Structure 1
Amino acid sequence: MATNKNQHFVPRCYLKPFTHDGTGKAIRVFNIDREEMIENAAVKHQCSSSYFYGKNERLEAAIQIVEQKYAGVLKRIRSSSYNNFLAEDELILKRFWLLQYLRTEAASKRAVEMSNDFVGLAGADTSFNLEIRDAVQIAMRVFAENMEVIDDLKACLIKNATEFPFITSDDPAIFNNRWFKSDARHRGSTFGLGSSGALAILPLCENIAFIAYDSDVYSISKSCGFVKTKRESDIHALNKLQFLNGRANIFPGQKFSSQELREDYVACKDNRLNERHVLHYAVLDREVGEYKRYRVVSKPEYESHQEALVHSQTLFPNPKAWPMLLQWRKKGFGMTNGTGVGCVRRSRIDDSGGPSFEKMYTGY
């Protein structure tokens, strides 16, 4: 039996730097639906649910170990004497980012919505419908089995030298892909954690953020693992990723005025996605020898068919701007073999199999 009934999917150790005076007790909350600021909300009630991870004591203990390691890294990074991003700290932040990306209520609800839509479209028994806690348990298994998936990404810490602080949200671990969003060759395709051009971003406090990136596609000019920016546009671009990704609440810290925060949100809210997945349905069109050809249809009931394929595609928000500190690498590239594997990083080739891979250049 788990020892804690009230389980946080965004841990209090993560939210603490954004609380009043860093005490971890009260926090400002900007509610996205109401576009309203709530002052002095209790942290213990934020991003939590009764037995969110179920009642598995071993799972709860394993999550607490990751959180404790993160808290230790955060304390070191925020120290004035910390001037060299250590490899062991980088690894802990990568693992914490992945755990946080997979385990939020928003992530679990997205998984449930996609799975249940799939069951409905396929005409399967609704007893197969996924519940939130089922999705959380699956996500934790994915984390345990794939925790090294972004280890190959380069990483650094962004030091915010502007008057505008970093903000965070109830779904703070940002995953996106600038290359896939901007290159017409990727249009209609989705990307995953092993894709070329992957970006993993997490604000750590009001003046430090973590970013991991595919160094075959992007370049960040840094020193000792730090990149310092004085450009307000960089901070606004990174903050807007939180506005686009957050499910219900933004945690802006103490420096932002309510009016400024609302204006920043309004400027990008049209880019928020109402749906975070789409299902594509294809019916068997014809057979040529040993090969089968499928044709995409808008709705399965429009045509009679004996055989079909259903493909689920995850959707990601499309930011209006990216931070200037994230540059394109000259002659950047990904790896592709023309199959459904897509364009992946070099580290993922051995896991893919199939035809041989060739470079796909970004064009920069």
Structure 2
Amino acid sequence: MPALKNQHFVPKVHLRAFAPDDGKKMVNMLHAASMRAIKGASLSGQCAKHYFYGKDLVLEKQIGEIEGQYAELVRELEGGHRNGPLLETVKTLAFFQHFRTDAARTRFLITQRQLFEATGEIVDEGKLPFSDEDLIQTALAMFFTSIKYIGDLKTCVLLNHSRQDFVTSDDPAVLFNKFILQKTGAANFGLMNSGICLYMPITPRMAVLCYDENVYRIAQNEKSEVIVRKRPDVIALNSLVMLNNANCVYFRNWDERDDLLAHLRDALPLRSPGTRTHRLVPVDGKEGAFRPLKAGEEYNGAVEMFHSEAVYPRPIHWMSFLDRRLRPVTYFENTAAGYVRKEAWLRSGPDGL
């Protein structure tokens, strides 16, 4: 095989942390489509496709450098380092992981098709005017334009002291929002919204959680460590990964396969349908504010836009350590922005939602 042809969308170093063998060449996995547990699958072929980032290898080489940073970061975390810049880098790399997978490519494919349908430009499935490479490049471009919206999230390290391991997947970085689900009942939210969280497992015994500290209160020590002792909390975190439209779930301990298969079976019916697209029109009297056009409502104004949003699954259980504050700090004006973390975002339009 030509060098760099097999391009990974989850770092091999990430998967190796979940390998059960001393050589770190195999990994146990659950295959969601067939609901089978597979023991000792070859690690080299996991989370990879031929020329996923393009045949010119430009993106592949740039991402390879980032993966080198990830490997060093994991070594520092395992060595007990928890300084501010390190945790900020963890957050950035977890956020980057959310945009670089095959699942991310699929999300953008669904979004683009919905936009064509919303604007009346319906095309045949096989004739969409962009390639898989275009889609993943669009997804990665979205990372760079939206990174500014997570700068205020606090990052903590979850240390697993329970008898159940963390699992990972081929789409391991998970966005969720307990606050919005409980406050509005809606399964859609954006990066500006209050209560957003980003979770990613690092090893079977360590994970990172980035969260809105103006909405949630999480007990942690001076090193930003959260000791997770309750098995149901680990199951809840693993369920987040399983709900995230992963094709393959990876785990270290083969003895856990039956329990994990049961959890995956519970998660599959609750997975998200993907994304949906709205036609947005200006809110009268509020400059820069938009709202969804109501069903049957006519609008002939000169200013409008189409906004696509992700629709997320509803978790079966929440982690006991993720407590909502009695008086969360949030901003709301009954516009398409919803509950947001900064007042200025109420008038910034739907970009980044």
TM-score (norm 2): 0.86
Q: Cα gap change, 1:143/1:282 in structure 2, threshold over 3 Å: closer, same or farther?
A: closer
**Is the Cα–Cα contact under 8 Å of residues 168 and 251 in structure 2 kept in the other structure?**
yes
Deviations 1:226-280 (A, max 9, x none): 111211111010011111114311102125432222122223333123x212234
SS at match of 1:183: helix
Correspondence for 1:124: 121
Correspondence for 1:222: 220
**Is the Cα–Cα contact under 8 Å of residues 280 and 296 in structure 1 kept in the other structure?**
no
Deviations 1:134-181 (A, max 9, x none): 111112222234434322111111111111000011111010111111
The total of aligned residue pairs comes to 338
Aligned partners of 2:348, 2:149: CA distance in 1, in Å?
A: 20
Q: Specify which of 186, 191, 194 is matched with residue 193 of structure 1.
A: 191
TM-score (norm 1): 0.83
Q: Specify which of 197, 200, 203 is matched with residue 202 of structure 1.
A: 200
Deviations 1:53-105 (A, max 9, x none): 113444323222221111111112223xx1x5121221111111111001110
**Is the Cα–Cα contact under 8 Å of residues 164 and 255 in structure 1 kept in the other structure?**
no
Q: Cα gap change, 1:133/1:230 in structure 2, threshold over 3 Å: closer, same or farther?
A: same
Q: Cα gap change, 1:316/1:43 in structure 2, threshold over 3 Å: closer, same or farther?
A: same
Residue 84 of structure 2 corresponds to residue 109 of structure 1: no
Question: Aligned AA for 2:322?
Answer: L
Correspondence for 2:66: 66
**Is the Cα–Cα contact under 8 Å of residues 240 and 268 in structure 1 kept in the other structure?**
yes
**Could you say which structure has the greater relative contact order, defined with CA pairs below 8 angstroms and 6 or more residues apart?**
2
Aligned partners of 1:95, 1:103: CA distance in 2, in Å?
A: 13
Aligned partners of 2:201, 2:327: CA distance in 1, in Å?
A: 29
**Is the Cα–Cα contact under 8 Å of residues 16 and 22 in structure 1 kept in the other structure?**
no
Q: Cα gap change, 1:89/1:334 in structure 2, threshold over 3 Å: closer, same or farther?
A: same
Aligned partners of 1:149, 1:294: CA distance in 2, in Å?
A: 22
Question: Aligned AA for 1:136?
Answer: I
Correspondence for 1:94: 91
Aligned alpha-carbon RMSD (Å): 3.0
Deviations 1:211-240 (A, max 9, x none): 000000001110111111211111010011
Question: Aligned AA for 1:31?
Answer: H
What is the percent sequence identity of the aligned residues?
26
Aligned partners of 1:260, 1:161: CA distance in 2, in Å?
A: 18
- Bigger drift between 123-132 and 162-171 goes to 123-132
- Deviation of 1:321 (Å): 1.0
- Deviation of 1:309 (Å): 6.5
Correspondence for 2:317: 321
Deviations 1:3-29 (A, max 9, x none): 611111111011110112363311111
Aligned partners of 1:338, 1:133: CA distance in 2, in Å?
A: 38
**Is the Cα–Cα contact under 8 Å of residues 116 and 129 in structure 1 kept in the other structure?**
no
Aligned partners of 1:69, 1:293: CA distance in 2, in Å?
A: 41
SS at match of 1:20: coil
